[in-house]
Amino acid sequence: MLIAIPPKYAVSQVIGYIKGKSAIHIARTYQGRKKNFVGQHFWARGYYVSTAGKDEEAVREYIQRQEQEDRRLDQLSLFE
């Protein structure tokens, strides 16, 4: 995931928000949960963050190639 975070937000806040909202969405969509689950954990506790700087375009291209590769592998698995 490549995101730009404005300096006024702490990285930990943004990551916590993304992990929290995505866990709720996945639980409701794929696990049939109607209420938020308290005391349970969906994502791992930690995370890794790095700056892209001048390499941002290289990172962006890598992510796009990974998406294409995932689609290709998904199509190959149809024939197994």
Closest C-alpha to 15, from 1, 26, 29: 1
Per-residue model confidence as pLDDT tens digits over 42-75? 777 888 888 877 788 888 888 888 888 887 777 7
The number of distinct structural domains making up the chain is 2
Same domain (yes/no): 1, 39: yes
Q: Of the listed 9, 17, 47, 62, which one is catalytic?
A: 62
Write out the residue range of the structural domain in which residue 70 sits.
51-80
Same domain (yes/no): 45, 55: no
Specify whether 62 is catalytic: yes
Same domain (yes/no): 4, 41: yes
Residue 26 contacts residue 42 (beta carbons within 8 Å): yes
pTM of the model: 0.62
User: Tell me, what DSSP letter sits at residue 7?
Assistant: T
Closest C-alpha to 43, from 13, 17, 18, 23: 23
Same domain (yes/no): 17, 38: yes
